[in-house]
């Protein structure tokens, strides 16, 4: 059989080149396999390199040529308070509704909301005309009764009334009362016996005539008239509404020309030079808290700034339904930056560890299951393994691995390699740690 010339040529090419094509494919596959094995071997050896990165003579990760700029803190031993975190709302230390003691029209209002006032300062003035008329009437009645009393005394003296008094029995009764009081204080006399002796003394006081003036005043009505004058003067004073204590005005509820009724709240006074936060703390943490311990307050509305306070009071009763107890925290507020009603995170001291090495928690990294920090020596980052202790908020105790004076990286250090060149900026180490709860 004869084949076309081109068919013979194609068959020859397939027969001649097929072995070379198969050999080249296997060769490529082998190269890929070798590369993969090498990568796996390098990965398997990497943990040993990493663990020995801080030891002389062992292989270290590759050092980048570029200098990194980092922030560091200088660690020194200090007290480390352990804290329990809670949330609450700011409230003024004292607050009071200011009410009208008598009814009337508002004649003058001298304050506005937010205005600071001193204790006793005038806040509002009511129409005083009716109260002043009542005082004038009571005063006139008193003067009339006093005149009648004077005329009565003159008449008594003209009829030969004696002004002498017998004080012998009165003196004896006074001595007996003094002795009875001493016996009562010593616990040898009952309250009922003391009251009986006092009543006998008062009766002798009337019989002796020493208290004759008081009896005459009551008989004529002068005493009642004096009381009426005092009451009228008090009502006149009530037309001026004054601050019960120093603070700031809030919730104004009356305008000039408005009629207010007796007992109506016209405004509130907030004593906010010191604030308080009442928080609910779980019972396991509450039993560790004591008045006078420190507290750290963070108000998100005021940015990243924190405020230092103290635990003022711990409620000794636990709410059995929730398993929590109330703790009151006092916060100084001399600049009045804290405002009533603001939400706050509160970290309360439950214990205090003396003279510990503490770093911000962000400084501690985990590599191959071990804790480490980057220290800086001679301008280079050193991979330093550490043993951590207690954690509280955003601070962590370092039990082993650091010494006083070490410079520890706290920013731009996550991607550093051992012995990498760095430029450090020393920042202040935090004195208190507080971490906002999730959510």
Q: Is the pLDDT of residue 439 over 60?
A: no
- How many angstroms separate the CA atoms of 260 and 201, rounded? 49
Is 416 in the same domain as 392? yes
Confidence of residue 189 (pLDDT cuts 50, 70, 90): confident
Indicate left, alpha or beta for 143 from its phi (over 0: left) and psi (-120 to 50: alpha).
Answer: alpha
Which pLDDT does position 191 carry in this prediction?
Answer: 82
Question: Of 43-57, 147-161, 353-367, which gets the smallest average pLDDT?
Answer: 43-57
Is 232 in the same domain as 299? no
In a domain, 30, yes or no: yes
Is 301 in the same domain as 383? no
**Residue 88: alpha-carbon gap to chain centroid:** 9
Percent of the chain with pLDDT over 70: 75
Q: Is the pLDDT of residue 155 over 80?
A: no
Give 181-199 as a DSSP string.
HHHHHHTSS-HHHHHHHHH
Alpha-carbon distances of 372 from 15, 414, 418, rounded to whole Å: 64, 11, 11
- φ, ψ of residue 385 to 5 degrees: the values are -75, 140
Strand partners, 371: 366
Question: Of 58-72, 109-123, 403-417, which gets the smallest average pLDDT?
Answer: 58-72
Over residues 35-57, the mean pLDDT reads 47
CATH number at residue 394: 2.40.420.20
Q: Is the pLDDT of residue 112 over 60?
A: yes
| Residue corresponding to tokens 């330093």 | 384
Which pLDDT does position 174 carry in this prediction?
Answer: 84
CA atoms within 13 A on the CB side of 229: 14
Is 345 in the same domain as 295? yes
User: 50 with 367: CB under 8 angstroms?
Assistant: yes
Which pLDDT does position 58 carry in this prediction?
Answer: 39
Q: Is the pLDDT of residue 63 over 80?
A: no
Over residues 189-205, the mean pLDDT reads 79
Is 411 in the same domain as 382? yes
Which pLDDT does position 11 carry in this prediction?
Answer: 42
Q: Which one is predicted more confidently, 143 or 113?
A: 113
Which pLDDT does position 148 carry in this prediction?
Answer: 73
In a domain, 255, yes or no: no
Q: Is 248 helix (H, G, I), strand (E, B) or coil?
A: strand
Alpha-carbon distances of 170 from 182, 352, 360, 368, rounded to whole Å: 19, 68, 82, 99
In a domain, 336, yes or no: yes
Both structure tokens of 377: 């020596």
Mean residue pLDDT of the chain comes to 81
- Of 179, 214, 236, which residue sits at a domain end? 236
Structural domain containing residue 336: 83-91+272-351
- How many angstroms separate the CA atoms of 71 and 410, rounded? 6
Q: Is the dihedral of CA 89, 93, 94, 95 positive or negative?
A: negative
Which pLDDT does position 54 carry in this prediction?
Answer: 40
Is 34 in the same domain as 72? no
In a domain, 105, yes or no: no
Is 140 in the same domain as 230? yes
Which pLDDT does position 49 carry in this prediction?
Answer: 37
Q: Is the pLDDT of residue 99 over 80?
A: yes
pTM, entire model: 0.59
- How many angstroms separate the CA atoms of 36 and 399, rounded? 42
- How many angstroms separate the CA atoms of 426 and 71, rounded? 6
Over residues 251-263, the mean pLDDT reads 94
Over residues 422-430, the mean pLDDT reads 87
- Beta-carbon neighbour count of residue 406 at 10 Å? 21
In a domain, 279, yes or no: yes
Give 63-87 as a DSSP string.
PPSSPEEEEEEE---EEEEEEEEEE
Is 304 in the same domain as 376? no
Provide the angle, in degrees to the nearest 10, between the axes of the packed helices 129-158 and 222-238.
Answer: 160
Question: Of 111-115, 121-125, 216-220, 284-288, which gets the smallest average pLDDT?
Answer: 216-220
User: 416 with 68: CB under 8 angstroms?
Assistant: yes
Over residues 309-328, the mean pLDDT reads 93
Is 343 in the same domain as 362? no
Q: How many domains does the chain have?
A: 4
Which pLDDT does position 305 carry in this prediction?
Answer: 87
- Of 288, 318, 351, which residue sits at a domain end? 351
Which pLDDT does position 67 carry in this prediction?
Answer: 87
Structure letter (DSSP) for residue 361: G
Over residues 274-280, the mean pLDDT reads 95
Is 217 in the same domain as 301? no
Going by C-beta distance under 8 Å and a sequence separation of 6 or more, which residues neighbour residue 328?
276, 277, 278, 311, 312, 313, 314, 315
Q: Which one is predicted more confidently, 57 or 317?
A: 317
In a domain, 113, yes or no: no
Is 219 in the same domain as 195? yes
Question: Of 57-61, 145-149, 164-168, which gets the smallest average pLDDT?
Answer: 57-61
Confidence of residue 195 (pLDDT cuts 50, 70, 90): confident
Give a three-class secondary structure readout of 260-318.
ECCCCEEEEEEEEEEEEEEEEEEHHHHCCCCCCCEEEEECHHHCCCEEEEEEEEEEEEE
Percent of the chain with pLDDT over 90: 50
Q: Which one is predicted more confidently, 402 or 203?
A: 402
Q: Which one is predicted more confidently, 344 or 44?
A: 344
Alpha-carbon distances of 320 from 128, 283, 289, 323, 325, rounded to whole Å: 54, 10, 19, 5, 9
Which pLDDT does position 60 carry in this prediction?
Answer: 46
Question: Of 244-248, 383-387, 411-415, which gets the smallest average pLDDT?
Answer: 411-415
Which pLDDT does position 339 carry in this prediction?
Answer: 92
In a domain, 104, yes or no: no
- Of 186, 219, 236, which residue sits at a domain end? 236
In a domain, 433, yes or no: no
Q: Which one is predicted more confidently, 56 or 71?
A: 71
Over residues 157-162, the mean pLDDT reads 50
- How many angstroms separate the CA atoms of 178 and 362, rounded? 76
Question: Of 82-86, 122-126, 248-252, which gets the smallest average pLDDT?
Answer: 82-86
Is 137 in the same domain as 230? yes
């Amino acid at each position: 059989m004869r084949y076309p010339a081109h068919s013979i040529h194609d068959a020859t090419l397939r027969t001649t080149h097929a072995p070379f094509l198969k050999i080249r494919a296997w060769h490529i596959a082998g190269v890929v396999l070798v590369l993969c094995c090498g990568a796996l071997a390098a990965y398997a050896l990497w943990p040993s390199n990493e663990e020995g990165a801080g030891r002389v003579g062992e292989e270290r990760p590759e050092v980048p040529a570029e200098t990194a700029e980092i922030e560091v803190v200088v660690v020194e031993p200090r007290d480390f308070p352990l804290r329990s975190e809670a949330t609450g709302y700011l409230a003024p230390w004292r607050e009071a509704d200011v009410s009208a003691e008598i009814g009337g029209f508002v004649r003058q209002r001298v304050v506005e909301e937010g205005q600071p006032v001193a204790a006793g300062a005038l806040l509002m003035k009511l129409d005083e005309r009716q109260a002043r008329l009542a005082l004038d009437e009571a005063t006139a009645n008193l003067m009339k009764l006093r005149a009648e009393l004077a005329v009565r005394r003159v008449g008594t003296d003209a009829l030969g009334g004696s002004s002498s008094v017998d004080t012998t029995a009165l003196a004896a009764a006074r001595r007996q009362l003094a002795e009875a009081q001493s016996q009562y204080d010593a616990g040898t006399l009952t309250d009922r016996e003391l009251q009986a002796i006092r009543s006998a003394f008062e009766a002798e006081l009337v019989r002796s005539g020493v208290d004759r003036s008081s009896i005459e005043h009551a008989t004529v009505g002068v005493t009642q008239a004096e009381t009426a004058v005092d009451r009228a003067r008090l009502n006149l004073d009530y037309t001026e509404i004054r601050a019960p204590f120093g603070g700031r005005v809030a919730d104004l509820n009356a305008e000039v020309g408005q009629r207010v009724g007796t007992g109506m709240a016209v405004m509130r006074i907030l004593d906010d030079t010191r604030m308080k936060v009442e928080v609910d703390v779980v019972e396991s943490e509450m039993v560790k808290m004591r008045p006078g311990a420190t507290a750290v307050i963070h108000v998100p509305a005021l940015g990243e700034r924190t405020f230092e306070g103290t635990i003022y009071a711990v409620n000794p009763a636990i709410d059995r339904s929730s398993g929590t107890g109330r703790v009151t925290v006092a916060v100084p507020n001399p600049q009045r930056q804290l405002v009533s009603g603001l939400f706050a995170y509160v970290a309360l001291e439950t214990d205090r560890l003396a003279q510990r090495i503490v770093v911000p928690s962000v400084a501690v990294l985990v590599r191959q299951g071990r804790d480490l920090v980057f220290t800086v020596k001679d301008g280079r980052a050193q991979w330093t393994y550490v043993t951590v202790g207690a954690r509280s908020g955003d601070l962590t105790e370092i039990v082993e691995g650091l010494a006083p004076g070490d410079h520890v990286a706290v920013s731009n250090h996550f991607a550093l390699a051992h012995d990498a060149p760095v430029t450090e900026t020393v920042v202040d180490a935090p004195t208190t740690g507080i971490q906002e709860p999730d959510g």
